[in-house]
Amino acid sequence: MAYRVSREVFETLVEEALATIPKKYPKYFKNLTVHVEDYPDDEVMESVGLRKTELLGLFTGSGHTGSGFFDNPMPMPDSIILYQKNIEAISDSRERLVEEIRITVVHEVGHYFGLSDDDLAQYEY
C-alpha cells in the first residue's frame, strides 16, 4: 500500500535528502532547480519510453560540465524533478519513503554530474 504525505512534507524530505549529499558536491550546483510534481506529463513519458507510473525522477539540462560561466552566457537552468505519487506508490512506510526519495535524489544528481544509468548501476546508494 502506498505511503502518502502532503506536498509540504514530501518537499521537506527532499531537502533532507539533498542535505545528505557530501559537501564537496553541492558547491557545483549552479543554475540547478529541484522541484516536485505528482506525475510526469505525456511528453516526458514519450521521450523516456516508460509508463507514467514507472518514472521516479528526471534530470534535464546540460549538467555540471566544469566550464566557466562565459562559455554559455545565457544557460537554461538544469532541473531535477521528483514524481511524488510514483515514489509514494513504491513506499509502504515513512522509512521506505525517505529511502526512495534519497535514492532518487542521488540518482538524478548523478545525472547532473554526467553519469549514465549504466554508470549509476555500479553504485549502491
Q: What is residue 5's predicted lDDT score, i.e. its pLDDT?
A: 98
pLDDT digits (tens, 9 = 90+) for 61-99: 887 765 555 555 556 789 999 999 999 999 999 999 999
Give the other-Cβ count within 10 Å of 65's Cβ.
13
Grid cell, residue 98, equals 525517505
* Residue 104 C-alpha from the chain's centroid: 5
In a domain? residue 34: yes
Q: What is residue 70's predicted lDDT score, i.e. its pLDDT?
A: 53
Domain that holds residue 20: 7-65+76-119
Count Cα neighbours of 37 within 13 Å in the Cβ-side half-sphere. 14
Give pTM, 2 decimals.
Answer: 0.86
Residue 125 has pLDDT above 60, yes or no: no
Query: Which CATH number belongs to the domain containing residue 82 in this structure?
Result: 3.30.2010.20
Q: What is residue 104's predicted lDDT score, i.e. its pLDDT?
A: 95
Sorted by sequence, the CB contacts under 8 Å of residue 71 that are 6+ apart come out as 65
Q: What is residue 6's predicted lDDT score, i.e. its pLDDT?
A: 98
Give the chain's largest Cα–Cα span.
Answer: 49
In a domain? residue 82: yes
In a domain? residue 15: yes
Q: What is residue 87's predicted lDDT score, i.e. its pLDDT?
A: 98
Mean pLDDT (whole number) for 5-21 = 96
Q: How many domains does the chain have?
A: 1
Mean pLDDT (whole number) for 10-21 = 95
Q: What is residue 7's predicted lDDT score, i.e. its pLDDT?
A: 98
> Which pLDDT band holds residue 113 (cuts at 50, 70, 90)?
confident
